[in-house]
Amino acid sequence: MKIFRIAAVLSMIAGAAAADPIEGVWKTETDDGSYAYVTMAPCGAKLCGVITRTFNAQGEYNSSNKGKKLVIDMAPSGGGKYAGNVWRPSNNKIYIGKMDLNGNSLKLRGCVAGGLICSAQTWSRVQ
């Protein structure tokens, strides 16, 4: 019985150690008067970011975008860089996505023309 408890504890420790450094909650920049908290977590073998809270000048509000994926199927490519897709709610378009992690700062880019023309935001870690 003791061996099973030790194995369970070791398994939890290994799982925590294997977490991607991008996992957690991130605050977006303000876009069209609103910003959001995006929770980054595994989605299959990749990472996705779901809008979990939304805010405007009056404070937190219930946006119709809550629960939607903003960051779609990001895969790490080494050195804090990620590639996948991003969705921009204000125009309902999906773009080629690139992300660069630097400590508690995450630069996210949505690109067109094969990644040559990009618009960027820098997000900050909430937790």
Q: How many Å apart are CA 111 and CA 94, to the nearest integer?
A: 9
- Nearest CA-CA partner of 25 in 58, 70, 78, 73: 70
50, 36, 31, 123: CA torsion to nearest 10: -80
Half-sphere exposure of 72 (CA within 13 A, CB side): 14
Predicted pLDDT of residue 77:
93
More confident residue, 2 or 93: 93
Token duo for residue 70: 């903003």
Predicted pLDDT of residue 18:
61
Predicted pLDDT of residue 103:
94
In this model, does residue 20 exceed pLDDT 90?
Answer: no
Residue 8 — pLDDT band, cuts 50, 70, 90? Answer: very low
Out of 3.40.250.10, 2.40.128.520, 3.40.50.1370, 1.10.760.10, the CATH code matching 24-125 is 2.40.128.520
Would strands 35-43 and 59-61 be described as parallel, antiparallel, or unpaired?
unpaired
Residue 50's DSSP bridge partners are: 39, 69
Q: pLDDT per residue over 37-91, tens digit each?
A: 999 999 999 999 999 999 999 999 999 999 999 999 999 999 999 999 999 888 8
Contact 25, 125 (CB under 8 A): yes
Domain boundaries, the chain: 24-125
